[in-house]
Amino acid sequence: MSNRTIKVEALTRVEGEGGLYVQLDGDEVRDVKLSIYEPPRFFEAFLQGRKLEEVPDITARICGICPVAYQMSAVHALEAALGVSMTPEIRRLRRLLYCGEWIESHALHMHLLHAPDFLGFHGVTDMAAHFPDEVNRGLRLKKHGNELLEVLGGRAIHPINVCVGGFYRAPKREKLTKLLPDFEWGLEAAVEATQWVATLDFPDFSRPYEMVALHHPDEYAMNEGQVASTSGLSIDVRDYEQHFEERHVQHSTALHSVRQGTDASYHVGPLARVNLSLEQLSPRARQLADELDIDWPCWNPFQAIVARGLELVHAYEEAIEIIRDYRPIQPSQIKYTHHAGFGCAATEAPRGLIYHRYEVDRDGKIVFAKIVPPTSQNQQQIEEDLRDWLPRVIVDDDQQTALDCERLIRCYDPCISCSTHFLRLTIDRGEPA
Amino acid sequence: MSAPAARPKLAVFKFASCDGCQLSLLDAEDQLLDVVGLVDIAYFLEATSKIVDGPYDVALVEGSITTPRDEERIQEIRRQSGYLITIGACATAGGIQALRNWANLDDFIRTVYASPQYISSLSTSTAIADHVAVDFELRGCPINQYQLIEVIQALVAGRKPHTRTHSVCMDCKQQGNVCITVATGEPCLGPVTQSGCGAICPTYNRGCYGCYGPAKQIHAQSLTDHLIRQGTAPAEMVPLLRNFNSGAEPFRDESNRIESLT
């Protein structure tokens, strides 16, 4: 039997840059490392000393695909530190903003980044010639999400309208209602897209995950709720760090998150959310979940693409409802005074739970910042999945093995820039024995 | 530099950054498939797993140089690329991560990572042009997708890209916004910041924070003197100039000047 190493130098169709290193001894998996070599940017360090009002603008720059997740988590954590509570109107407008990001990010991942894996294409460039309707639908849905972000946030990437206390300016009603005809079309298209992805050819691969997500009894959790898991955990966000811990490992500039005490991995993302909050999905999404040929809860990571579809439907339905009911809010920003304090918050980024904690001083400056992105929480889970997945896909052709590993990794819609503080596949089969 | 041949080979490279600028290309939903038809996408990790070896006719470079490995990688990319365009504030000015240029890197590493010995990072975050010759710079955090499409179309057509270099202040006047600084006294970098965002911050009732970097032929001190006279504390001017384009010379020099006075 020979040892060999398989390396994926640069993962593709993921956000940011990383690789994979796999070491095999015959058919036995010796080591799997998701290596994140994205250069560290030290956000938590340079936030120290900055005005708390700058935090939503600065943390947005952690990720170009999910800036709203960073902005939402930051403002909620800072508002907790300042003791500011939101009006129901601002709360709804924040959910609407998050709907925009979910639509943009999920439509992109389902149609342009993940679907090519199931259909045998390199990406949107070659898929477009064979599946023009699907590609165009994906682009159109993605555009809807971006248009909503533009109206409400000022722009789609790094919105400028989010502030501690609410929004700098409430949108005009007619700017939002103008989106309605497109969104009504989009809701039906999202249902079709979900029915389409549910018919893709999924490997029979289920895993005994502990899935973790926010859960809220009255709504599909986005900005608030208990941190819940499929193993029965249900804790206040303030207790997050007593249950989850970040570790620094040598092969990654992203920190690995594990369950405190047991060092066990866990799974965050759309599959975790749908499994934990199926009953909170919007009426169309909930009904669609039953109509699809998938049993919920679902433990097959490849079917995360279907969970994304259900959330896409949900985001459209909820966005339409919020826009229809919307009347310009006054004030758009709750006033507050600076005082020293601590605050934390968790929200649901398109890729999964994201946690922020800040300490602020009496002058409104950041003393301490801690940011736990979704992909660093999934990193160890992905490595463990690969250990189980590899024996099924190992073939003599290293390149084919590597491709099959990448397919699994992409199920998580990893966001590597985010997690740095994430991957190249290196498969080490060693020297022939 | 002469324009590349028809249907040029396009590559997209990433250094330290958030991915937002290259995402701007995928965000150009209406033009994306047309653009894909104009160029041969040879290397674009975020969009396709098809990887074609260089050389490339056009390279779009996102991100700043922050590691010894990347210092070498940009040299190789320059050798492989005919026309090199930097996209965004990280690539043109070092990005938000250039805040380390005023700090002690070891302190930064220890703040974020439990095992600093695993981290290989330079003490500075620098623009691509500090390392290699750059043929065209596209500003913004993030860049404007229409400007990016214009640059690609111009290159394919063999003409010079047309992007505006006037200040955000002019766009604001065109949109009929009430001046934030005049009306409220709140500091706004609109007079010294390059056009491209559509003057969105003043349009949403807040001062510009300079994410498109310095406009051409500005005199930053005239603005900061005015803002300080109006009541902005000098200590508050420094972080305003030091965010996403802190490494851009006019912002860097002015923030250093004010800091030396405080």
Q: Cα–Cα distances in Å, from B38 out to B5, B150, B159?
A: 11, 12, 15
- A143–B108 C-beta distance less than 8 A: no
- The DSSP H or E segment spanning A325 is helix A304-325
Peptide bond into B142 cis (omega under 30): yes
ipTM of the complex: 0.95
Query: Domain limits at A55?
Result: 45-203+325-378
| pLDDT of A323 higher than 50 | yes
| pLDDT of A2 higher than 80 | no
Mean pLDDT of A138-146: 97
* Any domain includes A401: no
Distance CA A332, CA A313 (A): 28
What integer best gives the mean pLDDT of chain A?
92
* Any domain includes A58: yes
Backbone φ, ψ for residue A425 (5° rounding): -80, 120
* Any domain includes A354: yes
Domain spans, chain B: 9-157, 168-261
Please give the tally of structural domains in chain A: 1
Distance CA A345, CA A355 (A): 6
What number of other Cβ atoms are within 10 A of residue B44's Cβ?
26
CA A12 to chain centre: 17
What residues in B contact A63, CB-CB < 8 Å?
A: 18-20
3-state secondary structure of B58: strand
- Give pLDDT, residue A16: 79
- B115–A40 C-beta distance less than 8 A: no
CA distance B100 to chain A (A): 7
Q: Cα–Cα distances in Å, from A295 out to A284, A352, B192, B239?
A: 17, 21, 58, 53
What number of other Cβ atoms are within 10 A of residue B207's Cβ?
19
- Give pLDDT, residue A417: 65
Most A CBs within 10 A among B23, B48, B188, hence the mutation to make, goes to: B48
| pLDDT of A423 higher than 60 | no
The CATH number of the domain holding residue A344 is 1.10.645.10
Most B CBs within 10 A among A11, A52, A62, A125, hence the mutation to make, goes to: A125
Half-sphere CA count of A321, side-chain side, radius 13 A: 12
* Any domain includes A311: no
Question: Which of B48, B125, B206 is closest, CB to CB, to A12?
Answer: B48
**For chain A, percent of residues with pLDDT exceeding 70:** 95
* Any domain includes A195: yes
Within the 144-173 window of chain B, which residues sit less than 8 Å (CB to CB) from chain A? none
CB–CB of A407/A301 below 8 Å? no
* Chain A contact for B222 (CB, 8 A cutoff): no
CATH topology of domain B9-157: Rossmann fold (3.40.50)
* Any domain includes A365: yes
- Give pLDDT, residue B83: 95
What residues in A contact B29, CB-CB < 8 Å?
A: 139-140, 142-143, 146
Residues of chain B with pLDDT under 50: 1-4
